[in-house]
Amino acid sequence: MDAEVDKAFIGSIPEVYDSHLVPLIFESYAADLAARLGGRPLSHLLEIAAGTGVLTRALASTLHSNVSIVATDLNRAMLDHAAAVGTKRPVLWRDADAMALPFQDGAFDAVVCQFGAMFFPDKARAFAEARRVLKPGAVFIFSVWDRIEENEFADVVTTALESLFPDDPPRFLPRTPHGYFDPRVIEDDLRRAGFDAPPEIITVSQRSRASSARIPAIAYCQGTPLKSEIELQNPANPALPVEATDVAERAIIERFGRGAVDGKIQAHLVSIER
């Protein structure tokens, strides 16, 4: 059941994800990744696991207008939200499973994925698909979160919910978003996918800031599949996600103080050429 819950970006989750979690932890990494592509000669770019489109928007604003962008995701609700928000210039939005991409071999100059690889059931298979649709010499760039202890708000929220659910605490955050951080595992999956050269893996630390502790509490407890895992604790109590949010908010205040809050976030950026 964990695998299905972890992919359940449904209901109100996409909207809260985009309004709260995106500015909290995703926007700065999207700008960074898009800038790293700026110097490469590109004509056709594919984004996989685009989510609500934070990286797509950064790419559309940063890359030259003659670079075509195809943004894909397996989750229709997330993609619909991304398309509704829109981009600075036209983007082709498509439903696509990263493990079975509906594109011809060698169709793209770059494949990018921001914080989506952790959700792939078979990472080597998804990486092999990315390699297949790349032209020779083209680049595959993706980012994954580092271990949860290096991401302070996520760590505090996870620990706080143990007090509300002592018998079966929700573990979505360490299990999936922060569960694929070992460079040795990543390198092995890329080798099994058919990539010959070793990847470049750099660790990027940034700061996550919000005007109040309530914002990260809502972001994690109501804007991710953690909400679904919380609801499963007691389906008869529709107020449970709000109760969990309250607990998370108090823990963030205790750790970071009242008013504006500022916590560390850390990720790995992986780059490899075909």
Tens-digit pLDDT string for the chain (274 aa): 455 554 555 567 778 888 999 999 999 999 999 999 988 899 999 999 999 999 999 999 999 999 999 999 998 888 999 999 999 999 999 999 999 999 999 999 999 999 999 999 999 999 999 999 999 999 999 999 999 999 999 999 999 999 999 999 999 999 999 999 999 999 999 999 999 999 999 999 999 999 999 999 999 999 999 999 999 999 999 999 999 999 999 999 999 999 999 999 999 999 999 9
Range of the domain at 168: 2-273
Structural domain total, the chain: 1
What residues contact 66, with CB distance under 8 A and at least 6 apart? 43
Q: Is 142 helix (H, G, I), strand (E, B) or coil?
A: strand
Cα distance from N-terminal residue to C-terminal residue, the chain: 35
Q: Alpha-carbon distance 82 to 230, whole Å?
A: 25
- In CATH, what number is assigned to the domain containing residue 236? 3.40.50.150
pLDDT at 6: 45
What's the confidence (pLDDT) of residue 11? 65
Angle between helical axes of 240-256 and 226-233 (0-180°, round to 10): 120
Alpha-carbon distance of 161 to 167, in angstroms, equals: 11
Q: What is the pLDDT of residue 265?
A: 98
The count of other CB atoms within 10 Å of the CB of residue 27 is 15
Which backbone phi and psi does 247 adopt, to 5 degrees? -65, -45
